[in-house]
Amino acid sequence: MDIISTEEQEFYRKNGYLLPEKQLFSPQKFNDLRNIFEETLREKGNKNAADLDVPHFSDELLFSFLMADEVLDVVEKIIGPNIGLWSSHFISKEPLTGKRTPWHEDSAYWEGRFDSFDKVVTVWLAIDESSVENGCMGVVPGTHKNGFSNYKEVGTETSTFDSEISTEVDDKDVVWFELQPGQYSLHDSRIIHGAKANTSTKRRTGYTMRYFSTDLILNKEHPGNKGHKIYHCRGLNRGENPLIYL
């Protein structure tokens, strides 16, 4: 059986997301990753739990997960055989204090950094159980086809960042990604997504692993790309991007 079936590939292309309801790693490998997160969190401090971006820049142990066949075989089914690592991020919402994540498109915050965003995918791996009550991610299916949305400013007292799309999102249009520890979801960088605040007594943590087709071309002159490291995972570098080979 394919790790991602032809029907699931078609569903992803149409809707911009996929919920395979599968474990990504073996129990032992998942526990190893969870232990890395807990150690990273202890070093960072709980007050900064929501800000654990690109941890692989400083912890090379994470490459054994980011470059693992278990992950890349899934990613290849979505964006093809030429794969680069764009970023990774531990995202943690503490019990009763985690802020809402405004509705947004990842691609809007990366505008101009690639020539296209049609082959950028995020693997969202649940470290903790993820539910609506503790602030799981939700997406609006099909919105990856809409292009860049207009944005408005929001206050950071209750939100994780200071802008969100100006169009109202109705909860009835949202698919919530409720996951058990070790399960994963996939979403297109262009899809509208967000999350509620964590109003529960349970922490909600995920590890995002973001990949792009190396057929895309990185804009080397964009200020956001200065100093940002991208890595070769597998396949050819048709976009002649400044990849790091491990």
Please write the tens of the pLDDT for every residue from 17-66.
999 999 999 999 999 999 999 998 888 765 555 568 999 999 999 999 99
- Single out the residue of 129, 127, 132, 134 nearest to residue 97, CA to CA: 134
Residue 42's pLDDT is: 86
Q: Which of 2-16, 93-107, 135-149 has the lowest mean pLDDT?
A: 93-107
Half-sphere exposure of 60 (CA within 13 A, CB side): 1
Please write the tens of the pLDDT for every residue from 211-238.
999 999 999 999 999 999 999 999 999 9
Q: According to the 3-state scheme, what is the secondary structure of 170-194?
A: CHHHCEECCECCCEEEEEECCCCEE
**Cα-based distances in Å from 23 to 27, 35, 124, 134:** 9, 17, 12, 20
SS3 206: strand
Domain boundaries defined on the chain: 6-244
Select the CATH number that applies to the domain covering 6-244 from these four: 3.40.630.10, 2.60.120.620, 3.20.80.10, 3.40.50.10490: 2.60.120.620
Element (H, E) at 33: helix 27-44
Q: 234 phi and psi, to 5 degrees?
A: -165, 160
Per the DSSP assignment, residues forming a β-bridge with 120 are 212
Q: d(Cα 107, Cα 117) in Å, to the nearest integer?
A: 7
**98: pLDDT strictly greater than 80:** no
Amino acid at residue number 145: K
Written as six digits, the tokens of 111 are 């505008």
Residue 147's pLDDT is: 87
This prediction's pTM: 0.94
Written as six digits, the tokens of 50 are 């929501």
Q: How far is the first Cα of the chain from the last one, in angstroms, to the nearest whole number?
A: 31
The DSSP secondary structure of 72-139, one letter per residue, reads HHHHHHHH-S-EEEEEEEEEEE-TTTPPBEEEE-HHHHTTTSBS--TTEEEEEEESS-B-TTTT-EEE
